[in-house]
Every structure is written in C-alpha cells, then in structure tokens.
C-alpha cells in the first residue's frame, strides 16, 4: 500500500501496485460533466467543493484518486483520506488539513454516527471553506441520506456540487477494459472484451478481476487470449 506523508503521520492511500488510477483510465461516458468538474477542481481552476456518490464499483474512488494524481502532477499538494479505514486513523489528523491545495475524503458515509469524526470533519469543512480551499467527498449514498448525527455537517455536504455517477453502457465498459489492459501492457482483443461484458457479468469490479485472471492465465499457458480460451478458463458453455 502506498502512503502519503503529512505533518500528522502517514495516511494509507489505496492504489494499485502497478499503476495509479488517473483520468486516462477513467471512461466518463454519461459522467462527462462530473469528470470535467473534478479535473478543474484538481487543477485549481475551480474552487468549489464537490460531493460524488455512486454504487460500489461505479468509479467514485477512482475519480478522487485521479484528482490527487492530477493535482500532484501540476505541483499542487493533494491528500487522499479513505475513511473506510477510520478505525486505523485518528480524527486528530484533520486538525492540520487546511494547507493542502486539494483534500479528497472518500467513503465519508462510513463515519456516520461517530461523534469524534463528525466533529472533526465539520470543523475542517468550515476552516477550508473560509480559506477557499476545495474538498472532494466520495460516498455510496446521497448527502441527504447520510447517517450523520450532526445536522450541520449533513447539510454542508449538499451545499456545493453534488453528482451521482451513472452506470456505463456496455460500449463504455468494453472501452474501460481495453484501457486497463493497455495500461498493464496486456492485449485484450475487442471481441474478447465484448464477450466478457455481454456474456460473463456486467458489474465492473468483477469484470476487472476476471481480466486480471485472464492476463495471468495467458502468461502461464503462453497462449493468445481468445473467446474459446476464456470459455475454458471460466468454464462457460
């Protein structure tokens, strides 16, 4: 696991060991508008906060991490905090988070009802808003459905831009799989990508996992990836 160092210690940053997720690997499809807004905020062109939510595997985490990567590439300080790991983190870490140019807080729905985290996040939100420093929030539920015990914090999540990530079409999913394969220096023929999307399963996390298995199998078997090979590996009739 990669780490981002801050003045309060190290924050776990859940990135793929082989490549950091960037905008180049994100297929926007119907989410073009949100992707452009995230890019502008990451680049410092746009100062507003943004709340992004969607189902598991919809790309929320990818976009937040891509924003951090984009900001860092432009010499800006960016920090990503995965609140799904709040049990291993200390809310005191938020006390010195006014300085980063960009702060991305993922899975904020995971701290609902945890008073010390809610209080720390509310105070940080107010401080960064006063200083004009943007924040990106990621969650798997809408801001109105957050199980926060602090009404002020819940209302602030809906103050700025709010986007729900829409499902990708089959064509977009095929493109996404091929982009991932290219990033891994792995040749995924289009007919095989189409077969995976239309005949295996349509949810992206599963498809990406299957693609990784196929890549490993082609290396072991020293064979090109074909539909019959995929059928034999996945035991599909």
Q: CATH number for the domain including 96?
A: 3.40.50.300
If one counts every other C-beta atom within 10 angstroms of the C-beta of residue 220, the result is 7
Question: For the chain, how far is it from start to end, CA to CA, in angstroms?
Answer: 38
Judged against a pLDDT cut of 80, whether residue 235 lies above it is answered with no
Residue linked to tokens 């976009």: 63
Q: CATH number for the domain including 183?
A: 1.10.8.60
Structural domains counted in the chain: 2
**Same-domain status, 187 and 150:** no
Distance CA 90, CA 111 (A): 12
Please report which residue ranges of 104-203 form alpha helices under DSSP H.
Answer: 115-131, 151-157, 170-183, 190-195
Specify the pTM: 0.84
**Same-domain status, 203 and 229:** yes
What confidence score (pLDDT) does residue 14 get? 38
What confidence score (pLDDT) does residue 84 get? 93
Structural domain for 7, as ranges: 2-164
> For 124-165, how does the pLDDT look when each residue is reduced to its tens digit (9 = 90+)?
999 999 988 999 999 999 999 999 999 999 999 999 899 999
Complete DSSP assignment for 197-234: IIII---HHHHHHHHHHHHHHHHHHT----HHHHHHHH
**Same-domain status, 79 and 144:** yes
9 — phi, psi (to 5°)?
130, -145
Judged against a pLDDT cut of 80, whether residue 12 lies above it is answered with no
What confidence score (pLDDT) does residue 232 get? 84
| CA distances for 180 relative to 9, 32, 187, 204, angstroms | 32, 19, 10, 12
> For 86-108, how does the pLDDT look when each residue is reduced to its tens digit (9 = 90+)?
999 999 999 889 889 999 999 99
Distance CA 192, CA 172 (A): 15
> For 21-68, how does the pLDDT look when each residue is reduced to its tens digit (9 = 90+)?
899 889 999 999 999 999 999 999 998 999 999 998 889 999 999 999
**Same-domain status, 178 and 157:** no
Q: Which residues of 39-75 are buried (b: 16+ CB within 10 A; e: fewer)?
A: bbbbbeebeebbbbbbeebbbbbbbbbbbbbbbbeee
Judged against a pLDDT cut of 60, whether residue 1 lies above it is answered with no
> For 184-234, how does the pLDDT look when each residue is reduced to its tens digit (9 = 90+)?
788 889 999 999 888 887 778 888 888 888 888 888 888 888 898 888 888
**Same-domain status, 43 and 137:** yes
Instruction: Please state the rounded mean pLDDT for residues 14-21.
Output: 48
Judged against a pLDDT cut of 80, whether residue 110 lies above it is answered with yes
Distance CA 181, CA 84 (A): 28
């Amino acid at each position: 696991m990669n780490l981002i160092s801050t003045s309060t210690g190290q924050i776990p940053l859940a990135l793929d060991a082989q490549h950091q997720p960037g905008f180049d690997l994100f297929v926007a499809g119907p989410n073009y508008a949100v992707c452009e807004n995230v890019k502008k905020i990451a680049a410092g062109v746009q100062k507003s906060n943004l709340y992004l939510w969607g189902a598991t595997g919809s790309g929320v985490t990818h976009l937040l991490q891509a924003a951090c990567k984009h900001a860092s590439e432009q010499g800006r300080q960016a920090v990503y905090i995965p609140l799904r790991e709040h049990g291993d983190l200390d809310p005191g870490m938020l006390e010195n988070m006014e300085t980063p140019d960009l702060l991305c807080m993922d899975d904020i729905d995971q701290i609902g009802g945890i008073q010390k985290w809610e209080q720390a996040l509310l105070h940080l939100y107010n401080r960064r808003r006063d200083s004009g420093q943007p924040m990106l929030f990621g969650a798997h539920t809408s801001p109105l459905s957050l199980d926060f015990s602090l009404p002020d914090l819940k209302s602030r999540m809906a103050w700025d831009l709010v986007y729900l990530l829409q499902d990708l079409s089959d064509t977009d999913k095929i493109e996404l799989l091929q982009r991932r394969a290219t990033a891994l220096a792995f040749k995924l023929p289009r007919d095989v990508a189409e077969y995976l999307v239309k005949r295996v399963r349509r949810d992206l996390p599963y498809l990406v996992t299957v693609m990784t298995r196929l890549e490993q199998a082609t290396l072991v078997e020293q064979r090109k990836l074909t539909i019959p090979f995929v059928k034999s590996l996945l035991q599909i009739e």
